[in-house]
Amino acid sequence: MPDALHTDVGGSVGPVTTQHVKLFDDPHPLELESGHRLAPVEVAYETYGELDANGTNAVVICHALTGDAHAAGHHGDPSRSGWWDNFIGPGKPVDTRRLFVVCANLLGGCMGTTGPSSINPETGEPYGLRFPLFTVGDLVEVHRALMRHLGVTRLRAAIGGSLGGMQVLHWAMEFPDELDAAVLVCATSRLSAQNIAFSAVAREAIMRDPNFHGGDYQRIGVRPDAGLGVARMMAHITYLSEEGMREKFGRRLQNGTTPRFGFDVDFQVESYLHHQGEVFLRRFDANSYLYLTRAMDYFDPFRDMVAAGPKLEALRTPFLVVSFDSDWRFDTAHSREIVQILAAHRVPVTFREITSPHGHDSFLLVIPEYHRTVANFLRRAGAEPGFTHAAGI
């Protein structure tokens, strides 16, 4: 098996379009873990590469908190590519020459998939906070419905970073016969108190914005931009590392070398965070932020080991778990906990902590050791003997 040394080179999948499909209907609604039912659920997704005749070469990309379906290629302007374009494409770690890649916007999102900003068919108005609470498991149920719609019978792999990795973990534990391999990058099986605390403050910032109106801001025609911007600015700090910020900004001033001694943006790091906050406002919905962060808070598949034990015993899917040494959002201890539990239940697990100064965001960057590991792992996915294709999605 040749070993790819330069997986960071490779082509682009080129121009792509986001597609939309309505899944579930009134006789067969999406049954959420909370007991609520949703139908139909519109899903925005993109695909790259070709599905083989048996429907078994598919790879699902599960996006993180604020991602969308546009993972690779471009929508007309080649200089503005999808959020994981360095990772997906011909000759890239997720090689579209042999894999059929699917990425869908998450349930509860705001990039084309049904979420709190969608119109509630019962009232004709946006759901707002009347949208039902959902779990990571519910996100996976929508992915599975999309796979059935696309004719995918079995996944070569499910891949995700951060919240994406949480979806992959759930998918593998609940439906081990549906995937040949699982890839979790800087993920966690449960948020720590500190993680939840950051999410809580972000949500407070949104909900205390005078324009929030109990989540009904859309109906009133305003937006809780101040709150959402602060939430994003704070979250963004947790995606970078101290070292990365020192390198990128230090104490440098935005204009010149003399401090202006005021409360306006003066340091470069302030300007950067403001920019991140503002860009985010243009593409994200505050209610979606509340719902998706809450789904992360409640995720804890190993909490009840009496229930999880038998699932793990039945799990033989090879896992790749990757963490980054400067990530403090979900640090290596989070990944190691997953590795320990998997290994204790005889799940084949490959794990590596990658050296990178770029914190949690490292998973989106070209880091040769990281890309090489994923490329080699995916090349073997589905090649192991002893895996039958009896079950389908």
Partner 1 sequence: MRLDLGVIADMVPAGSRVLDLGCGDGALLEELIRRRGCQGQGVEVSSEAFHACVARGIPVVAADIDEGLPDFTDGSFDVVVLSHTLQATRRPALVLREMMRVADTGIVSFVNYGHIGLRLQLLTRGRMPVPRLAPKRWFETANIHPCSILDFESLVRGQGLVTDQPVILAADGGPAGGLAARRPNAFALSAAYVVRRDPGPGVR
Nearest of 88, 176, 104, 98 to residue 145 by alpha carbon? 104
Virtual torsion, Cα 66, 69, 73, 75, nearest 10 deg: -100
Q: What is the size of the binding site for partner 1 (CB under 8 A)?
A: 27
In the complex, minimum distance from the CB of residue 18 to partner 1, in angstroms, rounded to a whole number: 33
- Number of CB atoms found within 10 A of residue 98's CB: 15
In the complex, minimum distance from the CB of residue 180 to partner 1, in angstroms, rounded to a whole number: 11
Q: Kindly give the pairing relationship between strand 155-161 and strand 182-185.
A: parallel
Rg (alpha carbons) of the chain, rounded to whole number: 21
| 4 vs 65, beta carbon nearer partner 1 | 4
In the complex, minimum distance from the CB of residue 59 to partner 1, in angstroms, rounded to a whole number: 17
- Return the residue of 27, 76, 256, 385 that touches partner 1, per CB under 8 A: 385
Beta-bridge partners for 320: 183, 350
Q: Residue type at 279?
A: V
Q: Tell me the two tokens of residue 197.
A: 């605390």
In the complex, minimum distance from the CB of residue 380 to partner 1, in angstroms, rounded to a whole number: 4
Nearest of 121, 111, 90 to residue 14 by alpha carbon? 90
Query: 305 to 344, contacts with partner 1 by CB under 8 A?
Result: 318-320, 336, 339-340, 343-344
* Beta-carbon contacts of residue 109 (< 8 Å; ≥ 6 apart): 68, 115, 288, 292
Query: 94 to 123, contacts with partner 1 by CB under 8 A?
Result: none
197 is a site residue for partner 1 (CB under 8 A): no
Residue 327 known to be catalytic:
yes
Active-site entry in 12, 81, 118, 162: 162
Nearest of 20, 16, 13 to residue 76 by alpha carbon? 16
Report CA torsion sign: 45, 49, 55, 56: negative
Query: 361 to 380, contacts with partner 1 by CB under 8 A?
Result: 369, 372-373, 376-377, 379-380
| 200 vs 343, beta carbon nearer partner 1 | 343
In the complex, minimum distance from the CB of residue 240 to partner 1, in angstroms, rounded to a whole number: 24
Residues with active-site annotation: 162, 327, 360
Footprint of partner 1 on this chain (CB under 8 A)? 1, 3, 318-320, 336, 339-340, 343-344, 346, 348-353, 369, 372-373, 376-377, 379-380, 383-385
